[in-house]
Amino acid sequence: MNGLIPAATLALALVIAQTASAQTAGATTATGPGVAAAAQTIEAEATITGIDKATRTIKLKGPKGDSMSMVAPPEMQNFDKLKVGDKVVAKYAEALVVELKKGGGQPLGMTESGGAATAKPGETPAAGAARQVKVVGNVVKLDDTTQTVTLKGAHRTVEMQVRDPEQFKLIKVGDQIQATYTEAVAIAVEPKSAKK
């Protein structure tokens, strides 16, 4: 899987969440000296309306009648147990943390890590994956008037506006900013006996 969330899995979570009216959703934000964070979680469900076993294509319908098709990733074992009428539950979570690293010293650039999990043979079909991306840049310029920080990374330079004046006061040229983005998705099929 090369540390990446399977495209079909992520697409399922996002499309269900956007078009099928998320059942539950939550967003949080937090700040502290030199740290800002935001996170959200979404849970949604759809019903399987068709299955093409040869191509591993699953047709889904959300609670508002929206339809879509997806290809089940190889990580989703027990694909043969899926049935028309099964409910698919997708949970998607993402978080972003931006941290001030005083004095620098970390290598510039981007690192990515991730992994996948799946149901064991004989269990209800399910798959999950997570990915984390870290980016580090050097603070090379500060503009007090606009509260803008200029960051130079390994391949490009960007400007970032800091809206909180107290946070801006903590930043000095020579410091580093590290942004960590994390996303996770889990998809499971509810057993027929669980339906009401």
How does pLDDT run across 70-119, given as a tens digit for each residue?
A: 777 666 667 788 889 888 877 778 888 889 999 888 899 888 887 656 66
pLDDT at 170: 93
Cα–Cα distance for residue pair 115/131, rounded to 1 Å: 7
pLDDT at 88: 81
Q: Look at residue 40 and tell me whether its pLDDT is greater than 90.
A: no
The answer to the question of residue 1 being in a domain is no
Distances (CA, A) of 183 to 37, 96, 191: 14, 9, 26
The answer to the question of residue 82 being in a domain is yes
The answer to the question of residue 178 being in a domain is yes
The answer to the question of residue 2 being in a domain is no
Q: How confident is the model at residue 59 (pLDDT cuts 50, 70, 90)?
A: confident
Cα–Cα distance for residue pair 166/170, rounded to 1 Å: 7
pLDDT at 76: 67
pLDDT at 171: 94
- Dihedral sign of CA atoms 122, 189, 57, 186 in order: negative
pLDDT at 71: 72
Q: Look at residue 193 and tell me whether its pLDDT is greater than 80.
A: no
pLDDT at 47: 86
Q: How confident is the model at residue 178 (pLDDT cuts 50, 70, 90)?
A: very high
- 138, 117, 131: which is closest to 180 by C-alpha? 131
The mean per-residue pLDDT over the stretch 175-193 comes to 76
Neighbours of 21 (CB within 10 A): 14
The mean per-residue pLDDT over the stretch 2-21 comes to 38
How does pLDDT run across 138-169, given as a tens digit for each residue?
A: 999 999 999 999 999 988 899 989 888 989 99
Domain that holds residue 126: 7-191
- Joined tokens for residue 22: 């998320």
Task: Give the bridge partners for 29, in sequence order.
Answer: 38
Name the phi and psi angles at 52, rounded to 5. -110, 100
- 162, 130, 169: which is closest to 147 by C-alpha? 162
How many domains, the chain?
Answer: 1
